[in-house]
Structure 1
């Protein structure tokens, strides 16, 4: 007799289940059994779609990186509109209110996962590196429009913003930071270079 429920898009449902576990219980709670239980399916479903659990996790990370890369286009398109601070605060909130903080913790805690990711992403911390690239692209677009100083060191500002954003959102068990806390981090970081805050 079959167990669980039929999965229309098994891979996505497994990814979504893993994300819920990461957000609710953290990276230490993430096991193949926990994922399939959360998804409401038999354990064999995960192994039918992925070679092993670390392959599943690597593809989960890649899926979430793709979301950040898609967000980059929208953020860069917002250059010249709203305020630089508002756009950056919203981008950082979108990245870090999602599963990004838990994914970074997952990557740093699993050697096999890091090894799999290094095959295609040899430097930096996956997801954090893509968020940094997104912020750098946006800052460059704003610099081209004159809303960021021409001599702004974007290669330093982008990781500063991502690192500070990560720290603001890092306490998974505490209350979510309010919008003003995120704006304050952004305002302070870009104070010397922003022409339109």
Structure 2
């Protein structure tokens, strides 16, 4: 690319390139050169916008955490509508899979990024926390509405669902049916459905 030509959405282009490197080669292979080569831009361009690689990775982690948190954060608003297990599954499947898988791998290699994400987005703002908290709030709301049984422990089930999602994102190709089956088993059918069946 010629010098002096602005690149629209450069940050997102670099973030997407970093994501591809993480998913293809692993986070240990990340370097400024690997990212810019993958993005097809000049080698020094990353450092023209970020202090160093850690600064870039922190910005990437904040960006992807925000996206993941915003998607998961819509879940509590679905309380009282539709099927609880389907609401959980559909919301979790709407989270960008590549972003979640890449961020999880990066955080394992660089756990110190979690503190930098919290500095920007606040406490409990890592992607892991955001999903677990949204699921907990949703399940608590559904339990108050009587749409899931009192035996469901929202924090425990939310933690299990969060772990399940990350396991499937990191290991499975087709996660939809497995995630749906597991969440249905964890949450069960709605209390109203059971009452109707018994009536």
> TM class by shorter-chain length?
0.7 to 0.9
Deviation at 1:46, TM superposition (A): 1.0
Classify 1:178/1:103 alpha carbon distance in 2 versus 1 (closer, same or farther; 3 Å). closer
Match of 1:109 in 2: 109
Match runs of 1:1-197 below 5 Å:
2=2, 6-95=6-95, 97-110=97-110, 113=113, 116-117=116-117, 119=119, 126-150=126-150, 152-171=152-171, 176-191=173-188, 194-195=190-191
Alpha-carbon distance in structure 2 between the residues aligned to 1:99 and 1:80: 29
Q: What per-residue deviation string (whole Å, max 9, x for no partner) do you get for residues 95-133 of structure 1?
A: 372321221121111265456446568987931111111
> How many residue pairs were aligned?
193
Higher share in helix: 2
Counterpart contact for 1:5–1:41, Cα < 8 Å:
no
Alpha-carbon distance in structure 2 between the residues aligned to 1:37 and 1:4: 18
Q: Extract unaligned runs of 5+ from structure 1.
A: none
Rg: which structure is higher?
2
Q: Which runs of 4+ in 1 moved over 6 A?
A: 121-125
Alignment TM-score, normalising by the size of structure 1: 0.81
Q: Extract unaligned runs of 5+ from structure 2.
A: 194-199
Q: RMSD between aligned alpha carbons?
A: 2.9
Q: What per-residue deviation string (whole Å, max 9, x for no partner) do you get for residues 58-107 of structure 1?
A: 11111111112221343223222221111111222233723212211211
